[in-house]
Structures are given as structure tokens and as C-alpha cells.
Chain A
Amino acid sequence: MLEIQNLHVKLAEEDKVILHGLDLKIGAGEVHAIMGPNGSGKSTLSYVLSGRDGYEVTAGSAKLQGAELLDMEPEERAAAGLFLAFQYPVEIPGVGNMTFLRTALNAQKKARGEDEVSAGEFLKLVRAKAKTLKIDAEMLKRPVNVGFSGGEKKRNEILQMAMLEPRMCILDETDSGLDVDAMKLVADGVNALRSAGRSFLVITHYQRLLDHIKPDVVHIMSAGRIIKTGGPELALDVENNGYADLVAEAE
């Protein structure tokens, strides 16, 4: 599904290098988790994959089902099936959540040459999905993320993911800021989307989330590289012992 090879990334405006030759391969239907110390470059990886400005790729490639993501505009990546649930979802005053979702959904459909969904169909769909995520109708009417609590913003990310039905979902610390019940809700939302044709990359600091979203593979990232890859037991190891030994071992 997603294949990243030897990815080197620096900040566009400074000489600071953040990713130092990162390799990652996620098969169709798989769930991978990335854990790693603060500042190791996890969010940077997710931003570079989705095409945010401010970063310069100096070497490497990132392919989604064989197509080079790094050559595409952000909207083309989305239409190709990439989705990033932001660590810090953005507030957009003046743009209603519904308008936003419908515009996004129809733009992707249009880009893929599919029929747009009608207003009625859309409404039915969004209401049903919002209900399972316990997002009330009032929230859907408000401007995107404006005045949402931290947890509401994260649930709104998952709602977008459920509506857009991407193939490759990246979740950047979607669990941070969620209470226990909300985390369960979000995990259920993710699990409901798990399928043979859809893959997940879950960035998290806590084993807790991985109790709910069971990963196939766990990677440890440090200083812009994947330093260790293993099964779910690796996350438990980190939870109990921290990163120090793993980082020392890698060096």
C-alpha cells in the first residue's frame, strides 16, 4: 500500500535535517504503529506524506499503490486515497463543518471521475456516521473545529476519515487529549474501517490506544529514522522501559 524508501527531509527555510533516510513498508490491510520520543520526526513524516509546505525532500521516495506521492499536490494525494488525522486539527472560522465535508467528498469524487453525492444522500450519510462517533448535529453545523474541545476535534478527524473512506490512513496522536470513553469511541471508529483494502499508520505515545487498535507491526522512530521494528510486544516494551535502551542499542 505505502512504500517509503530512504526518505531524507530538511526544513525548507533552515538547514535542519529532520528525516535521515527513513524506510517503511505497509501492506494492504495492515495496521502499523509508530512510537518514538518527542521531536523524533513522526509528525514531520505525516506532513511530508500529505504534502505540507515548509519541508524539502532531499532524497528518497514515498509511493502509494505504486504512485509517487511526493510529485503530487496535497489534494491529489487525498484523491489518491491518503488521509491524515492531524495531531493539531485546524480551526476554520466561517466554513461550516457540513460544507467542508461535502466539498471535500465531492472534490475527491470529481478528481476520481466518480459521481458526486447529492445533498440528501450526503446528509443521511454524515448523520449516521456522526451518531456512531457521538458527534451531535449541533457540532456539524458549527464552523470547522471552531470552539470544539480537544476531544471533539479528534472525533471530528475520525468522522472526516469515515466519510472520505481513504485507503491509507495516518493517525497522528489521535489518542492524545481523549478521555477513556472517547478513546474507545475513536478506536471503534477506526476498527470499523479496517478492511483488506485499507491500511493504517498509527502514531502514538501510548500502548493504551494499541490495546484497542491492535497493530500488526510496531516501529520505533528516533532522530528521523526507524530504529527498530517488531510486533505488538515492542509497544509494551516501550511502555515499561522507555526509549533509552532502544536508542542506545541503535547507536
Chain B
Amino acid sequence: MALALAKTEALNARIARHSLQKGGWLGAARAGALARLGAMGMPVKRDEYWRYTDPSSLTVANAPIAALFDAGDEPPAYGAIDRLKITFVDGVFDPAASDDLTLSGVTIERLALAGKADIHWARDLFGLLEERGQTPVERPLATMSTAFATDGVLIRATGKVTKPISLIYEHKSETSDAILHHCIKVEQGADVTILENGPAAARLTMVMEVEVAEGGSFHHIRTQGRDHERRAATHIFARLASDALFKSFTVTANGRLTRNDVVVELIGHDAAAHIAGACVGDGDFHHDDTIFITHAGERCESRQVFKKVLKNGAVGVFQGKILVRQGAQKTDGYQISQALLLDDDSQFLAKPELEIYADDVKCSHGSTSGAIDDGALFYLRSRGVPLKEAQSLMVLAFLAEAIEEIHDEAIAEDVRERLRNWLVRHEK
């Protein structure tokens, strides 16, 4: 009882400064979400699902101050990639820094504008996948985003989208508390790539709901990072029909606290979901990947590849679960989570889980943590590669399996370059 009260009080404080927008199809969805949220309250440290990550800075009333970070002369992410840019500054759409939202094969709208209509395709998606993702464990921060998101994008891909849609999140206020919510619908046979980058705000709460219809492909590459003090709780909820492909890769560098939840349901047959992450953390850095994959259809494949490089007391968390439902025969599930600890102060906490109710499945999972291989390091140095450069090579080699999950080589190279620069800046 005391716990429920604490959760409710935390919720009331957390949402006090955010107002519930009414009207349109969105207003109805928000009201429903608020009712669900009221029953849940905010997450607290005692919740099993927050065992390794303290949610208090995500649930406290005001966003903890996050100093802006000067990235110096480092070029912004995806600089060389031809893409359609949509920019949010501290969670607020910035038309001047955004392209015209027209692109062949896709319709793109802003949530804040499209929500006012009475009917809209997104009504059958917005908040629905988030709600499905509330079992077996509650994710109240996601529900909060359904209720209180101030903006986001609604993307409906109907064909092969000619270039990536790039969501850029800038952080310009030390106290900003952004809540965003995106919906992406990939119609039958359509193909879209979504890029995300930037710190977004002092504190970001975000949801992306992704529905991939038969034979559709969704590619997602996210660069989270830069500002050292920012905090973020993000959620991706995805549902895949037969022959659908879902690929999501996240690279995280910097940030005091990051919690990335990904919930994927493979409903149709022969679908594939690949979720990968590479994170590099130095010092006051806590990074949590929490993944939940449900296999319901037959012959589906899922792959989770998570790699973390940690130093100077950084903490990495991985909670990954594969649930294979009855009848999901010939499931092929793979999960690997690994940490490279560059010193004794850093820490990796992993909780891999398998729950299988079908008899003809192939599932494997593994989790390791270790240091850089001294033998390999000496071998590199004996060939003339200086210590720091040799270490960077070894770190990138460690991350390679995750980066290989990026489908596009130019984007993969952009990510590698970002990591190389980070390693140079964090040599000490």
C-alpha cells in the first residue's frame, strides 16, 4: 500500500507541469492513457524491472539540470547521408531546421497537428502497441508519453521510401523536459529507414510505435549521445506481420542515464527482428538496454546483439528476454550481450532470459564481460601500432558484431567514425 501510494505521489508530481491536451482522436487516446497511467503510478527502484537502474531521476518532478555539451568541431551525425531532416529542439519542432515533409512513398505528419482531426490512420496504432507492451511488466514512462507527448511524427510508408527520414534532437536548455511520441506504419511491401540523433533535452521520455505489415521493412539507426549530463528513457514497441523485417541499431556515447526499452512482437510467420546496440561509457554513465521479444508466428528469427565498453566506473545493464509462445515452431532466437571493461571500477549487469512454450525451436543466449586481450594488444604494438591506437582498434573490433547489424555501409561508417572520435576524446 505504501508502495502504491509512493508511486501515485511520484506520478502526480511528475505530470504536474505537463498538461493533457484534449480534442480530436488524439484527445481520446490521451485520456485513455491517463487512466491507465493513474493505475500504475511511476516506476520506483523497488520494481523488479528497475532492479539495476534507479528510475528516480526519470520520475522526479523537474528534470535534473543537464549542462549543454560543446561537441567542438566534431561533425554532426549522418552529415554525409542524403536524408529528410526533421528537427526538434528540446522537444519542440523547429521548422527552420527541418525540411519540407514531403517525400515519395511516404506521408509524414506532425503529431501535434494531425491529432486534432476526428479520424486518422494513426488512431489504430497510437498508444495501442504501447498498451500491448504493458504485459507482463508495466512500463509507465511509455504510457506517460502516450498521454503527455507534446509532439512527434506520424509516418506512413506505402512504398520504397527514397531516402532516410532523419529525426534530429537538439538540446539547448539546461532544464528541458521533453516528451515525444512517434508512430510509424510500414504498409505491405514498403521500406523505410529512420535515423535519429542527438541528446533531445535535459530529460527525454520517448516512445516509437512501429507496425510493419506483410513483407515490409523497417530500418532504424539511432545515435544517442553527446551531452554528458542528459537523461533519457526511450521505448520502441513493434509488431511484425508475416515476412516483415525490423532492424534497429543504437549507438550510445555519453549521457548520465539512458534506458532503452525495446518490445517486439513477431505475430506473422517468417518475420525477422534484429535489435543491436553499441555503447561506450566513461565515468558517470549508466546505460540500460531492456529488450522483450515475443515469438508468436512460425519460422521467425530474432537477433539481439548488445556490446558495451565501460570505463572509469561506468555501468552497463542488459535485460533481454525471448518469449516463444506455444505454436511458434521453428523459431530461431539469438541473443548476445557483452561488456568490455576497461578498468576494475566499471560494471556490467546482465539478465538474459528465455521462456519457451514451443518444442521445435532454436534459441541461444550468452553474456560475457572481460578486459582487452593483452596478447592481442601486444601483437598490435609489436607491429608498430601505438598503445592508444591499438586499444581503439580492439574496442572497435569488440563492437563490430553489433555495428554489422547496420544494413547501410555509409551509415555504419558514420557510426564507426563517431566511435573512433569518442575513443580519441576519452583516452584517459
**Contact residues of A with B, CB < 8 Å?**
50-53, 73-75, 77-79, 83-84, 86, 89-95, 99-100, 103-105, 107-108, 111, 143-144, 160, 164
Contact = CB atoms under 8 A, between A and B. Distances in A.
Interface stretch (B54-62, B137-145, B379-387): B379-387
A160 B393 contact: no
Shortest Cβ-Cβ A-B pairs, 10 listed: A94-B397, A78-B384, A104-B383, A108-B384, A74-B381, A90-B379, A94-B400, A95-B397, A92-B376, A75-B381
27 contacts: A50-B382, A51-B378, A51-B381, A73-B381, A75-B381, A75-B382, A75-B386, A75-B387, A75-B390, A77-B382, A78-B384, A79-B384, A86-B382, A90-B375, A90-B378, A92-B376, A92-B380, A92-B394, A92-B397, A94-B397, A95-B397, A100-B393, A105-B384, A107-B389, A143-B397, A144-B379, A164-B383
Nearest to B403: A94
B398 interface: yes
B384 A75 contact: yes
A103 B393 contact: yes
A78 B393 contact: no
Contacts, number: 82
Contact of A94 (B374, B383, B398): B398
A75 B376 contact: no
B131 interface: no
B170 interface: no
Contacts of A92: 373, 376, 379-380, 394, 397
B94 interface: no
A103 B385 contact: yes
Interface of B is mostly: helix
A52 B401 contact: no
Contacts of B380: 92, 95, 100, 104
A125 to B, nearest CB: 16
Nearest to B404: A94
Interface size range of chain B in the complex: 20 to 34
Interface in B104-146: none
Contacts of A103: 385, 389, 393
Contacts of A111: 384, 386
Contacts of B393: 95, 99-100, 103
B366 to A, nearest CB: 15
A189 B373 CA distance: 30
